[in-house]
């Protein structure tokens, strides 16, 4: 089973990378962009087919290491 974890800054947290990308896109003529937020994606291959166990394990991974839950949120997708 594969878990895809998307980690992104919470609303209201300053995102300097997103601001820089937004400015660059604007400079390149992409004027229809109102905001850019930068995050990260983590793909984890798991040795289980038990979806409930996998989700609980990946959630624990996020809470302890993969995401700084003070300033970041995350989503988990299992395939």
pTM over cut 0.95: no
d(CA 79, CA 77) in angstroms, rounded, equals: 7
pLDDT tens-digit map of 33-51:
999 999 999 999 999 999 9
Q: If you average pLDDT over every residue of the chain, what do you get?
A: 97
Chosen CATH of 2-78 out of 3.30.1280.10, 3.30.70.2860, 3.30.1370.60, 3.90.1150.10: 3.30.1280.10
d(CA 48, CA 56) in angstroms, rounded, equals: 12
pLDDT tens-digit map of 63-76:
999 999 999 999 99
Quick one: DSSP state of residue 11? T
């Amino acid at each position: 089973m594969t878990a895809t974890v998307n980690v992104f800054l919470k609303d209201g947290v300053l995102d300097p990378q997103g601001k820089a990308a937004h400015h660059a896109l604007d400079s390149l003529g992409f004027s229809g962009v109102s905001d850019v937020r930068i995050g990260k994606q983590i793909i984890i291959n798991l040795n289980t087919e038990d979806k409930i166990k996998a989700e609980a394990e990946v959630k624990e991974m996020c809470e302890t290491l993969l995401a700084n839950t003070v300033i970041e949120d995350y989503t988990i997708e299992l395939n």
